[in-house]
């Protein structure tokens, strides 16, 4: 009888109810669990768990795995219940408009909440937060002020906050969005433009009062990205008019630009000090952070962004600093909703996003007294910095303090993992063709980070180790014997190539190595993949490791693809349609194009910050600098991502050469130039029946796929090289628009 009962129990368990795929993913991330951890607990593959969470085509677990998975999700749902959907807003009563600056009566909340700020709207109904971006931009533009024009008269709305996406998600703390642009309107009132189209009256007359108003009344901020993280602090962007209103300079002096902050004796800094507000070590600069010590779980911190002090670098944000307030709020709000609220430059934000997705600590299980404590969050880098290996240390690092002065380290002493900068003279056959066509890998470094296993802790030194491709780290090994004239391109397939026309995959300049050198794990693993034996002499490996960058990649990939979709470029396009959509896509929505550029800059800048160098402050070689105190100062992770990105590109180049006999003329980072008879990528990329070469270049918007970078004539390339007497001048640097200056060529 018991066997029958067991069989019945198993039958019932095999149909255990499961929440939707999106909820499964939310519950896992809320508890700070990785796909690998769940897969290990359920004794399945990582890809299986990922398929269970797939929103597009979710699969369903079966048998005992389903019962265990349902049990896991039920326990997580008890810990992290879904926020209840807010009821739809009632129609506002027909009442006379309240006088300017009057406080708005807040709707009766279920829990104590701050009073709502006064709200203006340029139209009786503010645009919804989820509105189509271009339409939202037009609505926001009506609320803004074009340069040199008087602002449009605003219509006062009933004193009830607009219900944005955050409010509908059940979090009234942030119903006005993550940020606001503070300006002074034509009537002399201080107002704040929010991303959803709301305009808030700002009663504050000083910077300390502005900070207090933001925290107590403005309802600005962003919910945490993961359960163990912190809510995003509100961001205020101050226009030039707002700077004058609060006693701040419109532009910094030469000395202030050099130090990056206002002097300590500035009156506004004094006002903050007297009001018991504190500034971070970088002081009152373009990205000032004003805070008080946290009380319990409540943070008291406001970030300021000052565009006229060059907070929005035009290399990454285009002309965003010149946009009217409402349009600037839309641009920054779109970036904040898809990436995170900016915490500084795109580089700083990229690094902060890593920490926000993998906080160093989490709450422990309750102890005997029912209290929770802070404990290490598995999969994070922790709270304390770790030393790098000597070969990974940049010049001037304290680990190298004993080296003789002016000593130059060679490849056998220093890890040189950088992006490609390689070019070669064209062959006679290539010179007989008409054009040079450049293709560029989308989000190449983000694609290099996807799925990459990196070290989470410090290095362990090994002598004469056996190479293990699963161990992240740095390896001293001689790869000079790898011959690109014959390489393995499949399990049992070999290809004969012209090695003189290919860059080496092992050096940034594409030169063949001459002896032992330090390489990151992906580089050494590629030598094995090509069919050659490797015998490391020494290594620094990290046994504590994981796929730390996966969530970071997912967030930035989704942000990029969503923004490109706003620009009319989608992931399911055929090659010809994709090329047509990319042609002039920036003009369809210039503000969304700014966000796309900022997302790409966040990827590169965030990875660059992993090996941030000294930035003045009286630093001397051999002494520590500020960045070394961060757990996220990890040059080994940066090297691994660059190594994998370069190897990914070389693998595609080799597959393309083996299949077509075509070789690149120049490679620069993620751009590759080929000689072709036609003017576009489809004139030389081997598509058959609309399908690309497996493992080769493929046109598309996804990270790792390629787009058309630019086309010039072969005659142009030869003239440029002859003009500067440089037969190996890297034409990939100029292929986009063909402009070459004397400074670019080194003259």
Over the stretch 634-662, which tens digit does the pLDDT of each residue have? 999 999 999 999 999 999 999 999 999 99
More confident position, 125 or 1: 1
pLDDT of 143: 39
Reported as a single tens digit per residue, the pLDDT across 13-61 is 555 688 888 888 888 877 778 887 888 888 888 778 888 888 766 788 8
Rounded-to-10 torsion of CA 169, 173, 178, 180: 130
Q: How would residue 161 be classed by pLDDT, with cut points 50, 70 and 90? A: very low
DSSP state of 275: T
- Is residue 722 within a helix (H) or strand (E), and if so which, with residue range? helix 714-723
Task: State the pLDDT at residue 297.
Answer: 61
What pLDDT sits at residue 25? 86
Instruction: Supply the pLDDT for residue 298.
Output: 72
Q: Domain boundary at 493, 515, 546, which? A: 546
Is there a contact between 333 and 594 (Cβ–Cβ < 8 Å)?
no
Q: What is the full DSSP assignment across 211-245?
A: HHHHHHTS---B--SSTTS-PBPPEEEE-HHHHHH
Three-state DSSP class for 494? strand
pLDDT attached to residue 104: 40
What pLDDT does residue 728 have?
A: 82
pLDDT, residue 727, reads 79
Q: How many helices (H) and strands (E) does the chain have?
A: 23, 23
The verdict on residue 385 lying in a domain is: no
Same domain as 320, residue 182: yes
Residue 192 included in any domain? yes
Q: Is the pLDDT of residue 8 over 80?
A: no
Is 179 in the same domain as 249?
Answer: yes
211 occurs within a structural domain: yes
Residue 272: name the closest of 255, 297, 251, 289 by CA: 289
pLDDT band at 296 (very low <50, low <70, confident <90, very high): low
Average pLDDT of the chain, as a whole number: 86
Per-residue pLDDT tens over the stretch 62-104: 777 888 888 888 888 887 787 655 444 444 444 333 433 334 4
Residue 160: pLDDT over 60: no
710-729, pLDDT tens digit by residue?
999 999 999 999 888 887 89
**Tokens encoding 707:** 């787009």
723 falls within a domain = no
pLDDT in tens, 193-230: 999 899 999 999 999 999 999 999 999 999 999 988 99
Does residue 294 register a pLDDT over 90? no
What's 61's domain CATH number?
Answer: 1.10.260.40
* Parallel/antiparallel/unpaired status of strands 235-238 and 179-184: parallel
pLDDT of res. 21:
87
| Tokens found for residue 634 | 């990890």
538-541 and 460-463 strand pairing = antiparallel
**Dihedral sign computed on CA atoms, order 621, 627, 629, 630:** negative
Q: Is 661 helix (H, G, I), strand (E, B) or coil?
A: coil
Same domain, 401 and 514: yes
- Beta partners for residue 439, in sequence order: 672, 708
pLDDT in tens, 381-408: 999 999 999 999 999 999 999 999 889 9
Percent of the chain's residues with pLDDT above 90 = 68
SS (H, E, C) 381-393: CCCCCCCCCHHHC
Quick check: 437 and 699 in contact, CB under 8 A?
A: no
Tell which of 499, 520, 546 closes a domain.
546
The answer for 357, left when phi > 0, alpha when psi is -120 to 50, beta otherwise, is alpha
The answer to whether residues 113 and 106 touch, using CB atoms and an 8 Å cutoff, is yes
Determine, yes or no, domain membership for 260.
Answer: yes
Task: Give per-residue pLDDT as tens, 526-555.
Answer: 999 999 999 999 999 999 999 999 999 999
193 φ, ψ to 5°? -90, 125
Question: Hey, is 316 helix, strand or coil?
Answer: helix
pLDDT at 133: 42
* Overall number of domains in the chain: 3
Which strands form 235-238's sheet, in the order they lie side by side?
Answer: 119-120, 199-201, 190-193, 179-184, 235-238, 298-305, 289-295, 278-279
- The answer to whether residues 24 and 145 belong to one domain is no
Do the domain assignments include residue 27?
Answer: yes
Same domain, 146 and 47: no
Kindly provide the residue ranges of all beta strands, DSSP E only, lying in 545-627, ordered along the sequence: 545-546
Per-residue pLDDT at 144 exceeds 70: no
Residue 557: helix, strand or coil by DSSP?
Answer: helix
* Of 111-115, 212-216, 355-359, 706-710, minimum mean pLDDT range: 111-115
Say if residue 142 is in the same domain as residue 236: yes
Contacts of 183 (CB under 8 A, 6+ apart): 145, 190, 191, 192, 193, 239, 241, 242, 325
pLDDT confidence of residue 79: 77
Q: What is the DSSP letter of 208?
A: H
Is the pLDDT reported for residue 256 higher than 50?
Answer: yes
- 644 inside domain: no
Residues 284 and 404 grouped into a single domain: no
330 pLDDT exceeds 50? yes
pLDDT at position 739 is 86
d(CA 666, CA 422): 6
Total count of residues recorded for the chain: 747
* Structural domain that includes position 268: 119-341
In the block, which residue shows the tokens 């090329």? 579
Residue 374 placed within a domain = no
Rg (CA), the chain: 28
Q: Two tokens at 240?
A: 């030039």
- Statement to judge: residues 255 and 325 lie in one domain: yes
Confidence of residue 368 (pLDDT cuts 50, 70, 90): confident
Cβ-proximal residues to 235 (8 Å cutoff; 6+ apart), any chain: 178, 179, 180, 220, 302, 303, 304, 305, 332, 336, 341, 342
Tell me the C-alpha to C-alpha distance, in Å, between residue 407 and each of 240, 402, 619.
49, 10, 19
Instruction: Point out the domain boundary residue: 482, 511, 546.
Output: 546
How far is Cα of residue 535 from the mean position of the Cα atoms in its chain? 36
What integer pLDDT is reported at residue 130 of this predicted model?
38
- Residue 747: pLDDT over 60: no
Domain check: are 320 and 459 in the same one? no
- pLDDT value for 135: 41
Integer CA distances (angstroms), 80 to 27, 128, 226, 618, 678, in order: 7, 27, 11, 48, 57
Enumerate residues 6+ apart whose C-beta is below 8 A from 158: 92, 93, 95, 97
Asked if residues 303 and 234 have their Cβ atoms less than 8 Å apart, the reply is yes
pLDDT in tens, 582-623: 999 999 999 999 999 999 999 999 999 999 999 877 899 999
Q: Which residue has the higher pLDDT, 165 or 23?
A: 23
Mean pLDDT throughout 303-327?
96
d(CA 127, CA 334) in angstroms, rounded, equals 14
């Amino acid at each position: 009888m018991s066997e029958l009962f067991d069989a019945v129990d198993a039958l019932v368990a095999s149909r255990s109810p499961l929440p939707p795929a999106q909820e499964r993913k939310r519950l896992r991330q809320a508890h700070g669990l990785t796909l690998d951890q769940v897969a290990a607990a359920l004794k399945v593959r990582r890809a299986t768990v990922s398929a269970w969470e797939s929103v597009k085509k979710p699969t369903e677990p079966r048998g005992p795995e389903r019962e265990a998975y349902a049990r896991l999700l039920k326990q997580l749902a008890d810990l992290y219940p879904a926020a209840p959907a807010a009821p739809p807003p009632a129609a506002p009563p027909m009442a006379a408009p309240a006088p300017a600056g009057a406080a708005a009566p807040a709707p009766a909340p279920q829990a104590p909440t701050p009073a709502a700020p006064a709200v203006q709207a340029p139209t009786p109904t503010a645009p919804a937060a989820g509105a189509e971006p271009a339409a939202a931009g037009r609505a926001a533009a009506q609320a803004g002020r074009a340069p040199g024009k008087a602002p449009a008269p605003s219509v006062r709305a009933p004193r009830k906050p607009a219900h944005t996406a955050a409010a509908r998600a059940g979090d009234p703390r942030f119903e006005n969005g993550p940020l606001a642009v503070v300006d002074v309107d034509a009537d002399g009132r201080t107002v704040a433009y929010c991303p959803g189209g709301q305009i808030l009256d700002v009663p504050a007359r000083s910077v300390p009062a502005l900070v207090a108003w933001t925290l107590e009344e403005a309802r600005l901020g962003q919910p945490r990205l993961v359960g163990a993280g912190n809510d995003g602090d509100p961001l205020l962007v101050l226009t030039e008019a707002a700077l004058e209103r609060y006693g701040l300079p419109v532009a910094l002096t030469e000395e202030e630009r050099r130090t990056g902050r206002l002097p300590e004796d500035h009156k506004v800094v004094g006002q903050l000090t007297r009001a018991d507000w504190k500034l971070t070590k970088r002081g009152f600069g373009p990205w000032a952070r004003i805070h008080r010590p946290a009380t319990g779980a409540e943070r008291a911190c406001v970030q300021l962004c000052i565009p006229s002090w060059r907070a929005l670098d035009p290399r990454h944000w285009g002309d965003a600093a010149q946009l009217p307030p409402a349009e600037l709020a839309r641009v920054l709000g779109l970036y904040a909703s898809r990436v995170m609220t900016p915490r500084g430059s795109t580089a700083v934000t990229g690094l902060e996003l890593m920490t926000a997705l993998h906080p160093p600590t989490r709450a422990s299980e309750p102890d005997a007294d029912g209290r929770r404590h802070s404990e290490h969050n598995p999969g994070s880098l922790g709270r304390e910095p770790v030393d790098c290996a000597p070969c990974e240390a940049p010049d001037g690092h304290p680990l190298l303090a004993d080296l003789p002065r002016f000593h130059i380290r060679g490849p056998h002493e220093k890890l040189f993992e950088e992006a490609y900068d390689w070019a070669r003279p064209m062959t006679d056959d290539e010179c007989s063709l008409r054009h040079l066509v450049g293709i560029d890998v989308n989000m190449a470094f983000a694609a290099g980070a996807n799925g990459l296993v990196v070290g989470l802790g410090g290095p362990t030194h090994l002598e004469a180790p056996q190479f293990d491709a699963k161990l992240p780290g740095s390896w001293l090994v001689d790869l000079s014997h790898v011959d690109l004239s014959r390489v393995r391109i499949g399990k049992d397939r070999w290809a004969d190539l012209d090695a003189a026309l290919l860059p080496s995959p092992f050096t940034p300049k594409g030169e063949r190595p001459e002896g032992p050198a330090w390489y990151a794990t992906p580089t050494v693993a590629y030598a094995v993949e090509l069919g050659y034996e490797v015998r490391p002499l020494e290594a620094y490996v990290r046994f504590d490791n994981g796929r730390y960058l996966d969530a970071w990649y997912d967030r930035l990939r989704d942000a990029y693809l969503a923004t490109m979709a706003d620009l009319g470029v989608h992931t399911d396009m055929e090659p010809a349609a994709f090329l047509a959509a990319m042609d002039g896509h920036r003009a369809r929505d210039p503000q969304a194009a700014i966000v796309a550029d900022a997302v790409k800059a966040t990827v590169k800048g965030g990875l660059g910050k992993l090996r941030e160098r000294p930035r003045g402050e009286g630093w001397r070689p051999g002494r520590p600098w500020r960045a070394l105190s961060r757990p996220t100062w990890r040059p080994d992770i940066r090297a691994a991502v660059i190594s994998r990105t370069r190897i990914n590109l070389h693998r595609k180049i080799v597959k393309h050469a083996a299949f077509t006999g075509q070789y690149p003329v120049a490679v620069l980072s993620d751009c590759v130039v080929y000689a072709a008879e036609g003017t576009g990528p489809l004139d030389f990329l081997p598509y058959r029946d609309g399908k690309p070469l497996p493992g080769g270049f493929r046109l598309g918007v996804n990270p790792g796929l390629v787009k058309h970078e630019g086309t010039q004539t072969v005659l142009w390339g030869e003239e440029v090289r002859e003009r500067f007497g440089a037969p190996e001048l890297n034409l990939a640097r100029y292929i986009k628009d063909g402009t070459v200056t004397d400074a670019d060529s080194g003259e």
